[in-house]
């Protein structure tokens, strides 16, 4: 609970960026409320084993940590924003509702794996790389005994390490891209990322010791099995990621983990009307978005890893506190330098591991594209061609793709690309209900009351947060 009358800096997300933001804001003297959907701090990167209690991270006094809490809607109110939150066991109708108003909001909602549709990607036994990582690190559970990893980007390597640690045998790691060429084209990025070379050396040694094959320009193009994955078809790819005919071979596996980079969790930033650039939230040097009082940090502003996220979080938290307290704080020089270097590395990473458009030839007509609504690639193409769907709304309505429970989080980008929509990275990001809530929960939401969070040091005597019965 924040002190009565104090309007806290509100941080959404408890990963590296959110934790750093909360610490920086508290250090500057602001009251802080950190809202996170996880039961333990750390987010996806520092995934703690919840069987061991998850107490690895602590936050300073002055930070209220609201765990197991979902922000399901965000709306502008005079002077700031109002967050609607449900707290309690995931998806339980018994969660407690609460609304919080703030004049200084830090969004650190992170990102999740990007998956591409291919025949059989909806068969049980196909996981995202992040799922394999979360289950291995968070639960000590292996997703399979004999696992194939496929996708693009360096994240496949730590996932392989985690899988081996819980007893899986990694049959192969398939990198669809050609990262050597990509890195050679960006030598500045190698310099900026030099601190990661030790980590890379560790993975290379692990792969050699375990004799795990690592192939460039190949991927899993199909899974086989009755009710669960029993084998996969692996194929070589050309420079645009089209399958090289005749290169297909069958590999026995009971699990496949796929990850083609990451998709930012944009819905709260979009609800706050923050400007986007290239599918990410646009920020200035202090992590301020285009909307006064709203800051963004971490993967939301570009995929750059935990170190960059934490540095951005530190800047965002300090800026949010400065706004709230009406104070001028000394510039966090070290964090600024880390952000500059991190962004250079992130840009090089993006150039080294692009997703090539040849993936659009992988799904067949009967391949499910939207997993929730079970819309196939053929149905989507026909809906777009025959019913002349232009724009995301009409594509959704004529095909039903992206209308299911996940609201296009998994398929949105792929659907947008297959349907030829503009700005495919952000086309599906508008979700006024940011997370599904039950009708009963909606029905008990309180009527809106006027509240004016103040950005200055003078505080209103009223409490801006309310607890519902």
Partner 1 sequence: MRVRIDGVAVLAEPGRTVAGLLLAQGRNAWRTTREGGRPRGVFCGIGVCYDCLVVVNGVPDVRACQRLVCDGDDIRTQHGAELPS
Q: Which runs of consecutive H residues, i.e. helices, occur in 80-148? A: 129-139
> Between residues 216 and 382, which has the closer beta carbon with respect to partner 1?
382
Residue selected from 406, 430, 454, 463 as contacting partner 1 according to rule CB under 8 A:
406
**Could you give the CA distance from residue 87 to residue 98 in angstroms, rounded to a whole number?**
8
Residue selected from 3, 93, 187, 188 as contacting partner 1 according to rule CB under 8 A:
93
**Could you give the CA distance from residue 371 to residue 435 in angstroms, rounded to a whole number?**
17
Q: Which of 354, 419, 356 is nearest to 392 (CA)?
A: 419
Residue selected from 6, 27, 46, 50 as contacting partner 1 according to rule CB under 8 A:
50
Map the footprint of partner 1 across residues 240-269, applying CB under 8 A: 255, 265
> Between residues 344 and 409, which has the closer beta carbon with respect to partner 1?
409
Asked if residue 204 binds partner 1 (CB under 8 A), the reply is no
Distance of CA 441 to the CA centre of its chain: 26
Map the footprint of partner 1 across residues 325-384, applying CB under 8 A: 371-374
Inter-residue contact 170 to 149 (CB < 8 Å):
yes
Asked if residue 227 binds partner 1 (CB under 8 A), the reply is yes
Angle made by CA atoms 34, 127, 247, in degrees to the nearest 5: 140
Residue selected from 14, 16, 42, 54 as contacting partner 1 according to rule CB under 8 A:
54
> Between residues 228 and 337, which has the closer beta carbon with respect to partner 1?
228
Closest contact distance (angstroms) between CB of 419 and partner 1 is 20
Closest contact distance (angstroms) between CB of 123 and partner 1 is 8
Distance of CA 406 to the CA centre of its chain: 13
Asked if residue 18 binds partner 1 (CB under 8 A), the reply is no
User: Which x/- pattern over 110-139 shows residues binding partner 1 (rule: CB under 8 A)?
Assistant: --xx-x------x-xxxxx-xxxxxx--xx
Q: Which stretch binds partner 1 (CB under 8 A): 86-94, 294-302, 314-322, 425-433?
A: 86-94
> Between residues 95 and 344, which has the closer beta carbon with respect to partner 1?
95
- DSSP H or E run through 82: strand 80-87
Count of residues in the chain: 469
Asked if residue 51 binds partner 1 (CB under 8 A), the reply is yes
Closest contact distance (angstroms) between CB of 361 and partner 1 is 23
Q: Which of 230, 10, 231, 208 is nearest to 104 (CA)?
A: 10
SS3 content of the chain, % helix, strand, coil (to 5): 30, 25, 45
Closest contact distance (angstroms) between CB of 210 and partner 1 is 23
- DSSP H or E run through 442: helix 439-443
Map the footprint of partner 1 across residues 155-174, applying CB under 8 A: none
| SS3 at position 73 | strand
Closest contact distance (angstroms) between CB of 294 and partner 1 is 22
Closest contact distance (angstroms) between CB of 197 and partner 1 is 28
Using CB atoms within 10 Å of the CB of residue 212, give its burial: 0 to 12 exposed, 13 to 18 middle, 19+ buried.
Answer: middle
Inter-residue contact 113 to 129 (CB < 8 Å):
yes
Closest contact distance (angstroms) between CB of 121 and partner 1 is 9
Closest contact distance (angstroms) between CB of 408 and partner 1 is 11
**Could you give the CA distance from residue 304 to residue 340 in angstroms, rounded to a whole number?**
11
| SS3 at position 302 | coil
Closest contact distance (angstroms) between CB of 367 and partner 1 is 13
> Between residues 115 and 192, which has the closer beta carbon with respect to partner 1?
115
Asked if residue 16 binds partner 1 (CB under 8 A), the reply is no
> Between residues 145 and 238, which has the closer beta carbon with respect to partner 1?
145
Closest contact distance (angstroms) between CB of 411 and partner 1 is 9
Closest contact distance (angstroms) between CB of 261 and partner 1 is 14
Q: Which of 389, 281, 358 is nearest to 13 (CA)?
A: 281
* Distance set, CA 317 to CA 5, 314, 366 (Å): 20, 5, 48
**Could you give the CA distance from residue 12 to residue 242 in angstroms, rounded to a whole number?**
40
> Between residues 18 and 332, which has the closer beta carbon with respect to partner 1?
18
- DSSP H or E run through 310: helix 306-325
With CB under 8 A as the rule, give the number of residues binding partner 1.
48
**Could you give the CA distance from residue 96 to residue 85 in angstroms, rounded to a whole number?**
8
- Residues of the shown chain interacting with partner 1 in the complex, contacts defined by CB under 8 A: 37, 39, 44, 49-54, 89-93, 112-113, 115, 122, 124-128, 130-135, 138-141, 143, 227-228, 255, 265, 371-374, 404-406, 409-410, 436
């Amino acid at each position: 609970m924040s002190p009565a009358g104090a309007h806290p800096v509100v941080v959404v997300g408890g990963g590296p960026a959110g934790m750093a933001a909360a610490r920086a804001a508290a250090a500057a003297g602001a009251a802080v409320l950190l809202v996170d959907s996880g039961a333990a701090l750390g987010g996806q990167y520092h995934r703690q084993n919840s069987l061991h209690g998850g107490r690895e991270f602590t936050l300073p006094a002055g930070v209220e940590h609201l765990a197991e809490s979902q922000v399901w809607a965000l709306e502008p109110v005079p002077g700031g924003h109002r967050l609607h939150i449900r707290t309690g066991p995931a998806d339980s109708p018994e969660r407690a509702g609460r609304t919080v108003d703030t004049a200084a909001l830090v969004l650190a909602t992170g990102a999740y794996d990007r998956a591409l549709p291919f025949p059989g990607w909806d068969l049980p036994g196909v996981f995202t790389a992040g799922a394999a990582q979360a289950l291995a690190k968070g639960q000590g559970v292996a997703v399979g005994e004999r696992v194939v990893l496929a996708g693009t980007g360096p994240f496949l390597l730590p996932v392989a390490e985690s899988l081996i640690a819980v007893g899986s045998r990694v049959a192969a790691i398939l990198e669809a891209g050609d990262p050597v060429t990509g890195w050679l084209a960006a030598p500045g990025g190698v310099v900026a990322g030099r601190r990661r070379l030790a980590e890379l050396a560790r993975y290379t040694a692990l792969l050699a010791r375990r004799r795990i094959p690592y192939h460039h320009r190949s991927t899993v193009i199909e899974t086989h099995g009755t009710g669960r994955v029993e084998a996969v078809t692996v194929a070589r790819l050309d420079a645009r990621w089209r399958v090289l005919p005749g290169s297909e071979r069958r590999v026995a596996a009971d699990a496949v983990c796929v990850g083609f980079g990451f998709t930012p969790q944009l819905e709260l930033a979009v609800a706050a009307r923050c400007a986007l650039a290239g599918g990410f939230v646009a920020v200035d040097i202090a992590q301020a978005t285009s909307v006064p009082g709203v800051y963004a940090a971490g993967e939301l502003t570009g995929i750059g890893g935990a170190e960059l996220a934490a540095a951005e979080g530190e800047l965002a938290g300090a800026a949010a506190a400065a706004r709230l307290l009406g104070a001028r704080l000394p510039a966090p020089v070290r964090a600024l330098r880390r952000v500059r270097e991190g962004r250079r590395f992130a840009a090089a990473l993006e150039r080294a591991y692009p997703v090539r458009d040849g993936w659009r030839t992988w799904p067949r007509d009967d391949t499910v594209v939207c997993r929730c609504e079970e819309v196939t690639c053929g149905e989507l193409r026909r809906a777009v061609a025959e019913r002349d769907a232009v724009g995301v709304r009409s594509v959704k309505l004529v095909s039903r793709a992206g209308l299911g429970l996940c609201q296009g989080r998994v398929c949105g980008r792929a659907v947008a690309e297959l349907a030829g929509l503009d700005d495919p990275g952000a086309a599906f990001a508008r979700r006024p209900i940011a997370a599904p809530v039950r009708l009963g929960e909606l029905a008990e939401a309180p009527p809106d009351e006027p509240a004016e969070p103040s950005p200055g040091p003078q505080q209103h005597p009223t409490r801006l947060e309310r607890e519902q019965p």
